[in-house]
Amino acid sequence: MTSLLLSQKAFVRRRLVGPVARFARRPLASPLDGRIVMITGASSGVGEASAKAVAARGGIVLCVARRQTELDRVVGEISAAGGAAHGYACDLTDETATEALIELALAEHGHVDMLVNNAGRSIRRSLEYSYDRLHDFERTMAINYFGPVRLTMGLLPGMRARRFGHVVNIVTWGVQIKAPKFSAYIASKTALDSFARIAGREAWSDNVTFTNLRLSLVRTEMIVATDAYRSMPAKSPEQAARLVVRALEDRPITIGTPIAGLAEVLNVLTPRVMDAIMAASNKRFPDSAAARGGPQPVEQPDAVSRSSEK
């Protein structure tokens, strides 16, 4: 019941009270003010932009990524802008390292109010080039599913005990569209999407909620390997970060796009028609040289990409 009331209050705040307050030039304080927010993949891309956006709204950001040098840069820039941030270098595919991260964060801050599972890996490769590459599926599951689940499960008991918490999972509109060439990536994100929906129902009565942010294409360094996506419309990391802030402040169940929503309906109502459309798209946008076994792109392991091949 508490979570339901909070959802209603968030709607009233965003749609009614907030605009009036801005018109009166007395904007409301952000619900993130003073909250401890852990963000993974915070050394670049969506994670970096989200960390800066949360800090600008008064949140205390725990920035997690593998690259210590880039973490130090992001934390330094947030601090220079007057925000509060702390950096934690961690490989989230490493169980021992992740457990140590949870223990250290709780020891230093007492609790974590909110978690943004952003770090991830995307692989765009047709099945015909994947028959001998089972490791593509294993490594996407390692960082896109098992990493976020391990981190969530480590922080969830404290959230439930304190009767407050929110987890945002950066997934993809692909969980609704089911786009060809992304079998490894979309499968891992679909697993996380489903985990969050079930976890949210179990933790609902403890006022711990989950949001699945189903992002469309985002213009990060990791999409440069795919020629087909260079000319397509894409969000900037800052635009994606604004959605992350909305997910944290309003705590909706999902945030998506109308196109993906329509595709999801059509996949149910006219599945064979959608199969034909997706098959045509599959032929129109071939695999890149990297996906076919050519030169590999430079890896940015902490960024969330929509179309990189490795």
pLDDT per position in the chain (310 positions), as tens?
A: 555 555 555 555 555 544 444 444 446 789 999 999 999 999 999 999 999 999 999 999 999 999 999 999 999 999 999 999 999 999 999 999 999 999 999 999 999 999 999 999 889 999 998 999 999 999 999 999 999 999 999 999 999 999 999 999 999 999 999 999 999 999 999 999 999 999 999 999 999 999 999 998 887 766 555 555 666 777 899 999 999 999 999 999 999 999 999 999 999 999 999 999 999 999 888 888 778 886 554 444 444 433 333 3
First to last CA, the chain: 45
Confidence at residue 90, expressed as pLDDT on a 0 to 100 scale: 97
Q: Residue 52 domain-assigned?
A: yes
Q: Residue 309 domain-assigned?
A: no
Q: Structure tokens of 288?
A: 């890149």
Confidence at residue 303, expressed as pLDDT on a 0 to 100 scale: 44
C-alpha distances out from residue 251 to 35, 74, 93, 204, 255, Å: 14, 26, 27, 12, 10
Domain region containing 90: 31-284
Q: Residue 146 domain-assigned?
A: yes
C-alpha distances out from residue 198 to 30, 138, 151, 192, 301, Å: 28, 23, 16, 10, 28
Confidence at residue 287, expressed as pLDDT on a 0 to 100 scale: 83
Q: Residue 109 domain-assigned?
A: yes
**Cβ-based neighbours of 140, under 8 Å, separated by 6 or more:** 121, 122, 123, 184, 185, 187, 188
Query: Count of CB atoms within 10 A of residue 27's CB?
Result: 10
Q: Residue 162 domain-assigned?
A: yes
Confidence at residue 16, expressed as pLDDT on a 0 to 100 scale: 54
Q: Residue 168 domain-assigned?
A: yes
Please tell me what DSSP assigns to residue 14. I
The CATH number of residue 138's host domain is 3.40.50.720
Domains held by the chain: number: 1
Chain centroid to CA 127: how far?
25
**Cβ-based neighbours of 109, under 8 Å, separated by 6 or more:** 36, 60, 62, 86
Query: Per the residue annotation, which of 88, 129, 131, 185 is the catalytic one?
Result: 185
Crossing angle of the two packed helices 2-12 and 237-250, in degrees rounded to 10? 130
Confidence at residue 262, expressed as pLDDT on a 0 to 100 scale: 96
Q: Active-site residue 145, yes or no? A: no
**Cβ-based neighbours of 180, under 8 Å, separated by 6 or more:** 126, 278, 279, 281, 282
Q: Could you tell me if residue 251 is left (phi over 0), alpha (psi between -120 and 50 degrees) or otherwise beta? A: left
Q: Residue 18 domain-assigned?
A: no
**SS3 helix, strand, coil % of the chain, rounded to 5?**
55, 10, 35
User: For residues 53 and 60, what is the distance between their CA atoms, to the nearest angstrom?
Assistant: 11
User: For residues 185 and 307, what is the distance between their CA atoms, to the nearest angstrom?
Assistant: 9
Q: Residue 301 domain-assigned?
A: no
